[in-house]
Chain A
């Protein structure tokens, strides 16, 4: 007897629908899975047999053939367990599957018949729903994720036995109807900018990058508060809009980082990979490529602490995603494209010992000129070119900066950032741009008009500060963000003048 159950398989962020065909005929007791299954999927038969037996059903002692159609694409994942088990039970006549043509089944079985949550549920179901599947049976642990698909009926089950009882009509399981969440709640943060004393320049720079999603490089001696300030960056990032949250959740779903019972990700990602991370860890990869750090920080922050300590090759691969906003990884199994619109925050010391340029302070640099040049040279010119803002921090003696000066907390800063974000969303409605940092040269012409005074200033600055033509776009983008923070529709001279403060200073960073 033949039974068919629908399920799906993930390829990158896209999904394909798969039909699980199970045939039970007389013959030597054996079970074969065909249709290019991977190792985890081949092992599925052991789990299926034990789970069926342990759930109080009979695993047929017959010749069982499982075909995953279409048979010419490779399939991987453990979520095929449940549809195969269901197929076996139906093909052996232990259950009747009625009205199952529009139902997607997925789930991993454990030996006692329990149904475990799986990865990649959100992107798979989004795709399946758009193809006309309106109902899904899936592990209860994935139900929050599935509920994000607007209009989809989701039935979460705990065990194979429960599923059988449900299909036989013995028990009722309420179907959750998925819907979109329009207003994402604010997240709570433990760390607050109030705790950062001094470093007003750095705080202002972080405010600007948060508002416009610009890249930032901090250069300064150890202990000047770089890492401390950046750790508080998430607390001032603008809240996610639903589309962004969905994209992030999809990426985390396929990476298996979503966690059980977790639905939509409402907080912008903040990824801080260690400097021993490999190139693959940053870009993503594997036999079937998984998203790397650049994609996991999509719409969020990729913080590379101690930038020059990173493998040079690993840093260089950041160039393309920084430019394009996505990364394409090609492997034998195919090409996979993952989004990677992240803001890059780098921190570095000016030299190996860290105190170059702070002469006269408590420490003095003990490096040779060669060492300093070599150290700065680890960050290549093209990468530096993509840094919109470079801030040099100094360990200022704060003996005279007494504590009674009230420092702004994250809440106030975030308020301004949110307003700037609203302005940007409004201005770029209908285009692909969501942040000022994504402005293309033609968009700059359209959206960033300078008044005569600013033109004059810029012309002066180019001559006096010897700026390169390449620096032009970078400065304009930052100026746009500063103007947005000021809630000014036009770019004024003071906005431009402030932006010019965040240009590169050649004394510290070679180029």
Chain B
């Protein structure tokens, strides 16, 4: 079965063939099926700087091998999406050197707002706390969390999203059927269940060193912004930042103690102009330009915990800061009863008092 899609899977399986080379092929041959039948000399000409890859390509250019590749990669546990398919993530198409084949486990939902939370594997308690906190809060706003399923910050980011029953995507630097690091096995299983795991590496492929920087371009590519929680001065995380900047994504850096090696990278990023991350709002404000966001979890929760009258009062305050007399006028609730309601709302942490009996909603 020789078609464009299958040939892409075959080329991906060979390893080392970038999307740029694919573009060269299509430029040269028009279609990949032409490549299948092309003369050796022509292929050597297109891949003149990559002789080893060309050798490999020619050695495997036969039906038996293609058949083998297709059976190897075929599984019910995941699906394969190529850049030619309609369900290929839009966001990845626009990046430099996109993965032309991705293997997907779990629920594919790439069009929602996504934020990458990345950081070093070697992390401090502060970093782990922050990763989880921001992941949770982003989830409350309906934003998905993208990370690399590594130890440390990555894991905390995924965990935060999962705790709030949110959506999270883990991008692997190894074969889709590999659990690496194995201590994250449990997390992998949870992501398969309620999130998504993707990789450009087919089954059986080892977690090689150079895979990880490469998968970072997918992490940033899938996301609308990249949050750097902790990074040392020469951390791999900074590679992700490089990709993000190249792809035109927002980079947020969490400020840290200047004496802490784990924060030296992020602090430096701030100095170089990354957005300083103090509050989830910082991210939400940017995302609002692209998406219609509302704090779904909070609204639902608020509805749960408020009585009808309390909800009515809260609705008015939510729109704009309002004076107590005006609230009373609009709702028809008497001052004495209204004062009671306002105190309760204050204690529930939903509103606070500005000067002069004017109340405002807390986010």
**Is B361 located at the chain interface by the 8 A CB criterion?**
no
In the bound assembly, the distance between CA atoms of A384 and B343 in angstroms comes to 22
CB of B356 within 8 Å of the partner chain: yes
A396-B325, A460-B347 as given contacts; A204 in contact with B335, CB under 8 Å: yes
Contacts of B357 in A (CB 8 A): 201, 391-394
Closest to A391 in B: B357
B358 at the interface (CB under 8 A from A): yes
* Bound Cα distance A160, B325 (Å): 64
- B301 CB, min distance to chain A CBs, angstroms: 18
**Which residues of chain A have C-beta atoms less than 8 A from B182's C-beta?**
none
Query: Bound state CA distance, A495 and B344, in angstroms?
Result: 11
What residues of B have a CB within 8 angstroms of the CB of A505 in the complex? Answer: 353, 355
- With both chains docked as a complex, state the minimum distance between the C-beta of A222 and any C-beta of chain B, in angstroms: 13
CA distance A436 to B358 in the complex (A): 29
Which one, B328, B353, B358, contacts A200 given CB within 8 A?
A: B328
B342 contacts across to A, CB distance below 8 A: 501
Q: Are B356 and A498 in contact (CB under 8 A)?
A: no
Instruction: Report the minimum CB–CB distance from A503 to chain B (whole Å).
Output: 9
A500 on the B face (CB < 8 A) = yes
A204 is contacted by which of B329, B336, B343, B347 (Cβ under 8 Å)? B336
CB neighbours of B339 from chain A (8 A): 201, 204, 497-498, 501-502
- Determine whether the beta carbon of B325 is less than 8 Å from that of A461: no
- Interface bits B330-363 vs A (CB < 8 Å: 1, else 0): 0000011101111110110100011111100000
Interface check A199, CB cutoff 8 A = yes
Q: In the bound complex, do residue B340 and residue A508 qualify as a contact, i.e. CB atoms below 8 Å apart?
A: no
Query: Assuming A497-B340, A505-B353, A508-B355, is B346 touching A201 (CB within 8 A)?
Result: no
Report the Cα distance A200→B329, complex, angstroms: 9
Q: Give the residue name and chain of the A residue nearest to B322 (CB).
A: A396
A357 touching B356, Cβ below 8 Å: yes
Size class of the A contact interface (CB-based, 8 Å)? 35 or more
A396 touching B343 by the CB < 8 A rule?
no
When distances are taken between beta carbons in the complex, the residues of chain A under 8 Å from B329 are 400-401, 405
A442 CB–B CB distance under 8 Å: no
Tell which of A204, A358, A405 has the most Cβ of chain B within 10 Å.
A204
CA distance A227 to B241 in the complex (A): 63
Q: Please report the C-alpha to C-alpha distance between residue A482 and residue B340 in the assembled complex, in whole angstroms.
A: 11
Q: Which secondary structure dominates where chain B touches chain A?
A: helix
Whether B343 and A497, one on each chain, are in contact in the complex, defined by CB atoms closer than 8 angstroms, is yes
CB–CB B343/A461 < 8 A: yes
Q: Give the number of residues in B that approach A within 8 Å (Cβ atoms).
A: 24
Asked whether any CB of chain A lies closer than 8 Å to the CB of B133, the reply is no
Q: Find out whether the CB atom of B356 lies under 8 angstroms from the CB atom of A393.
A: yes
Are B346 and A465 in touch, CB under 8 angstroms? Answer: yes
Nearest CB in chain B to that of A356: its residue: B355
C-alpha spacing A394/B353, complex, angstroms:
13
Is the beta-carbon distance between B349 and A464 smaller than 8 angstroms?
yes
**A507 CB within 8 Å of chain B:** yes
Q: CA of A220 to CA of B358 in the docked complex: distance in angstroms?
A: 12
Among A275-304, those with CB < 8 Å from B are: none
Q: Once the chains are docked, how many angstroms separate the CA of A479 from the CA of B109?
A: 55
Q: Whose C-beta in chain B lies nearest to the C-beta of A221?
A: B356
- Tell me the complex Cα distance, A465–B348, Å: 11
Q: Which residues of B contact A400 (CB under 8 A)?
A: 326, 329
Residues of B within 8 A of A460 (CB): 347
**Is A45 an interface position by the 8 A CB rule?**
no
List, in ascending order, chain B residues with CB within 8 A of A392's CB: 355-357
Q: Which chain B residue has the least Cβ–Cβ distance from A461?
A: B347
Partner among B323, B335, B336, B354 whose Cβ is within 8 Å of the Cβ of A507: B354
Q: Is A494 an interface residue (CB 8 A)?
A: yes
What residues of chain A have their CB less than 8 Å away from a CB belonging to chain B?
198-201, 203-204, 220, 350, 357-358, 391-394, 396, 400-401, 405, 457, 460-461, 464-465, 482, 485, 493-495, 497-498, 500-502, 505, 507-508
Q: Which residues of B contact A (CB under 8 A)?
A: 323-326, 328-329, 335-337, 339-344, 346-347, 349, 353-358
- 22 A-B contacts (beta carbon < 8 Å): A198-B325, A201-B325, A201-B339, A220-B356, A357-B356, A358-B356, A392-B356, A394-B323, A394-B358, A400-B329, A401-B325, A401-B329, A460-B347, A464-B347, A465-B347, A497-B341, A498-B337, A498-B339, A498-B340, A501-B340, A501-B342, A502-B339
Other than the given A495-B340, A498-B339, 15 more pairs (CB < 8 A) read A200-B324, A393-B357, A401-B325, A457-B347, A464-B346, A464-B347, A465-B347, A482-B336, A485-B336, A493-B340, A494-B337, A497-B344, A501-B343, A507-B355, A508-B356
